């Protein structure tokens, strides 16, 4: 069962946290999340699942930024969310989709217990100009039945920024590559470039 907008608002501060919360963004059965003013793009020609891939940070100016087709952009929501005892999911808004803009390639499904900003996998079918703080997607909540263990991944939980893929932590846990753009902690050993 999906929570109504009224239920979302009634659960704020309990099983749902949305910071900042704007009542104008509340929908009949979802809440609109807005786009932060930065994006990341990968710098590698070929992305390697077993390695931490280099990224470049792009600022979205107030007068907009044109996204190019065939390019993956990683963004994040302005809002930080927490979800306890519910399953959060995000979907693109229909007005955004009608511009040929996908806001999550495959990762719209959240986990119960997730706390942090939502990283958006943004892809444009044709060139489209985007703007910071636009309502880019919507979050909605499913009720969860049965016992569960809350999400506690060391990859994405409590993130503070856009999160590129960290699949390399699963496939190659000894791989280390320092990229100052990622602002990821590393141990006392010299970073590998």
Q: How many CA atoms lie within 13 A of 6 on its CB side?
A: 0
Tell whether 190 is covered by a domain: no
From the number of C-beta atoms within 10 Å of its C-beta (0-12, 13-18, 19+), residue 124 rates as: buried
Q: Considering the entire predicted model, what is its pTM?
A: 0.86
Residue 189's SS3 state is: coil
Count of domains in the chain? 1
Hey, what are 125's tokens? 């079918």
The reply to whether 19 belongs to the active site is no
Average pLDDT per consecutive 10 residues, the chain (193 residues; last block may be shorter): 96 97 97 98 94 96 96 97 95 94 84 94 97 98 89 84 90 64 46 35
Tell whether 156 is covered by a domain: yes
Please, which residues have CB within 8 angstroms of residue 10's CB and are 6 or more apart in sequence?
none
Domain that holds residue 75: 5-163
The catalytic residue among 121, 145, 147, 170 is: 121
Tell whether 186 is covered by a domain: no
CATH of the domain at 48: 2.70.40.10
Tell whether 68 is covered by a domain: yes
Tell whether 171 is covered by a domain: no
Q: Are 76 and 36 in contact (CB under 8 A)?
A: yes
pLDDT of residue 192: 36
Query: Distance between CA 53 and CA 178 in Å, rounded?
Result: 10
pLDDT of residue 188: 40
pLDDT of residue 172: 81
Tell whether 188 is covered by a domain: no
Tell whether 12 is covered by a domain: yes
């Amino acid at each position: 069962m999906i929570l109504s907008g009224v239920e979302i608002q009634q659960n704020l501060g309990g099983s749902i946290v949305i910071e900042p919360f704007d009542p104008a963004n509340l929908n009949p059965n979802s809440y609109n999340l807005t786009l932060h003013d930065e994006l990341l793009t990968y710098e590698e020609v070929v992305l390697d699942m077993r390695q931490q891939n280099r990224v470049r940070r792009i600022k979205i100016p107030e007068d907009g930024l044109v996204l190019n087709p065939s390019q993956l952009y990683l963004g994040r929501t302005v809002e930080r969310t927490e979800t306890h005892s519910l399953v959060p999911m995000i979907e693109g808004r229909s007005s955004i989709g009608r511009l040929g803009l996908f806001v999550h390639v495959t990762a719209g499904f959240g986990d119960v217990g997730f706390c942090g900003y939502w990283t958006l996998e943004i892809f444009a079918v044709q060139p489209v100009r985007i703007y910071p703080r636009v309502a880019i997607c919507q979050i909605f909540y499913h009720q969860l039945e049965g016992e569960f263990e809350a999400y506690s991944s060391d990859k994405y939980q409590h993130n503070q920024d856009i999160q590129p893929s960290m699949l390399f932590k699963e496939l190659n846990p000894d791989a280390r590559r320092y990229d100052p753009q990622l602002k990821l902690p590393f141990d006392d050993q010299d970073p590998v470039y």
